[in-house]
Chain A
Amino acid sequence: MKKFLILFLVLGALNASAASSLPSALRTDGKTVVAAFSDVEKVARSCTVRIIYGTGYKVAVGTLVNDQGLVVTKHSELDTAKSGGTLRIALPGAERYNRGKIVAHDSATDLVFIATDLTQKPEYKWAETDEIAPATWVVAGVAGSATRPYVRAGITSATARAIPKAGAVIGILMGSAVKDKKGVPVRTVTPKGPSEKAGMKNGDVILSIEGKAVNTTDELKKAVGKHDAGETITVVVQRKDEQKTLKIKLGYRELVFASMKSRNDKLSGKVSVRRTGFEKIIQHEVTLAPSEMGGPLLDLKGRLLGINIARRNRVEFFALPASLVQKVIKAKAAEIAKASASKDKAE
């Protein structure tokens, strides 16, 4: 009897020391907690695709939106310029990748459509409302593996709403326009900024933006200001005797100019190249990298609430609501069908 008592006391002590800090498996995103979402994970696995693109096998996440192989993801993160738009797509557990081809994109929502040969039927039902109450469990589909789950969970964390457009720049300091001379001279190209990445040099003279001539600094600002960060615009510059056409992906003023970076931006790691200018978003707290946008956001019943579209900072994440995604699919249907048909012909 005495032995029993001692054993019990020892066990008690062990329990107490284990309880002093919560083991990682029991944390909100820990393995044991995430296991409770296994029914939703099944649904997520039926529609969350892994997208391999670009040089160096970059990985993106997308959502299968019908049973004809149509996939959507976030446009501005999918940098396919170097790979000529060739994509490889696979559902979880697939033995091989399917080829994918970009067939349409929508700059208002930053969604891009990819046609694939996938024939599986996604298991979710589209949510019938965008009015998701705060503190509703949500599950984001991510590119998992045999050892890492295909989902991450959290809650909706604020009211669904519009996110207005905010300050996009090309990342230069403008010189003064010279009277009677065409274009706007570039005094300094911001290091690591959008223009530098596109090949702009100090001393270039910007002649036009998206085909429209710019001859004053105001005209230049206006022409850039029409667009949102993450959008790629065509800029023609004069460099000595030649004209060059540059494709510049716009960035946020506060991120391009390092001195304007807020403490929260510094703490937030990488954020989405486009995190504003959305007609409506659902806000949640599921931690996702910018490269993990484009995947599905599901509820506990396996309904598709929306498509993840932006990491605003390390605690605020946005998804485009289901109704908005469906609206864009409908609006783009003809364009998608036409581009898909030409793809079939080519094969």
Chain B
Amino acid sequence: MHMFKYLLLTVGLTAMMLPAADLAPWEKTAPESIADLVAIQEKVQTMLKDAMAATVTLQMGGSSGSGVIISDDGLILTAGHVSGTPGRKVTVILADGRKFEGKALGENKADAGMVQILKPKDLPTSNYETHKTNLPKVGQWVVSVGNPGGLDAKRGAVVRLGRIIFSRPATLRSDCKLLGGDSGGPLFNLDGTVIGIHSRISGEPDQNYHVSMPAFHSDWKNLSDPSLPGFLGVTAVDYKKDGVDGVEGAELEIVRDNSPAKKSGLKVGDIIIKVSGKDVKASRDLTTLIGKLRPGAKTKLTLLRDKKEMEIEVTLGSRPGAAPKLPFGFPPRK
């Protein structure tokens, strides 16, 4: 036992006293010399070509943001407030000048968003962090790419270097300088892997926020699959009163907090009898009918409350992933 403790201590001390000389210049607490700075510069310039090629401008109506292509079939990571309402038309402009038509896929509360290029052809792509929960380390060097002020063909995307200031499950903060139009652009590590997406800019130029990759992974299906059903946020049971009033429907047993159902005023005990005029005879019908609708769809529910028939309009949402709510700070730009 004594021996075991000793061993633990030795291992611990070794880890603590690891000489700085063994660390790569970009892994040090801070660069110590011009040589360290040169090494960081070379590392950045090596990953930059692919990173720039995969960074795109996204234009939706009059507004403009950035994004990054991560697959040959044209999947783009961006910010939720850039992609916006699922299904809307997006023009994707590549660094090489090519234009593609795209459409917005899903978005979530952490400001993660996705866009799909409709007819992908010979697309440049970037690696992204595929581990579902990995977060960058505080102090890690990062590279931001994006289009501050929107598309400027002669300028191209703008690159900035910074360090991670804090790293939380949904939100990263770095001292990369960002401005409007950068939103949705990629945050890379020095290996050229996307580790975040620019989300909110603060009043200080060098204190900006990025959506973390776990905020994408925990919600990937919902963000990437445009055929995913809309979300009401209730649990219902079959309602049948044999021979008394002949009513058949779906009785709400649970109405989830912050759900579209709750926001529209639905209550536990309500009996849903129609969705957009179509009969609901059992809880299964409610699931099926809601399942045919898209997030964002407005639908009319007919229900019985205290034996009185009434109608409630509800705007369906997306099924919330595990992404936590935004901790604090600046609201996403709409």
Contact = CB atoms under 8 A, between A and B. Distances in A.
Interface of A: 1-2, 4-5, 8, 11, 19-22, 25-30, 32-33, 35-37, 39-40, 133-137, 154-155, 157-159, 161-162, 262-264, 267-268, 283, 285, 287, 300, 313-316
A8 B9 contact: yes
Contacts of B36: 36
B100 interface: no
A21 B177 CA distance: 18
The 7 closest A-B pairs by CB, nearest first: A314-B205, A315-B177, A36-B31, A32-B30, A135-B44, A22-B165, A315-B179
B12 interface: yes
19 contacts: A1-B5, A11-B16, A22-B138, A25-B30, A30-B30, A40-B34, A134-B159, A135-B45, A137-B37, A137-B40, A155-B44, A158-B158, A159-B154, A267-B201, A268-B179, A287-B205, A300-B41, A315-B160, A315-B177
Interface string B142-168: 010000110000111111111111100
Contacts of B201: 267
Contact of B162 (A28, A39, A161): A28
Given A36-B30, A287-B206, A158 B164 contact: no
A28 B175 contact: yes
A119 to B, nearest CB: 29
A36 to B, nearest CB: 4
Contacts of A22: 138-139, 163-166, 175
Contacts of A2: 5
Contacts of A154: 160-161
A264 B148 contact: yes
A21 B165 contact: yes
A159 B32 contact: no
A163 to B, nearest CB: 9
Given A27-B163, A28-B161, A133 B148 contact: no
A316 B180 CA distance: 12
Nearest to A162: B154
B237 interface: no
A314 B155 contact: no
Contacts of B328: none
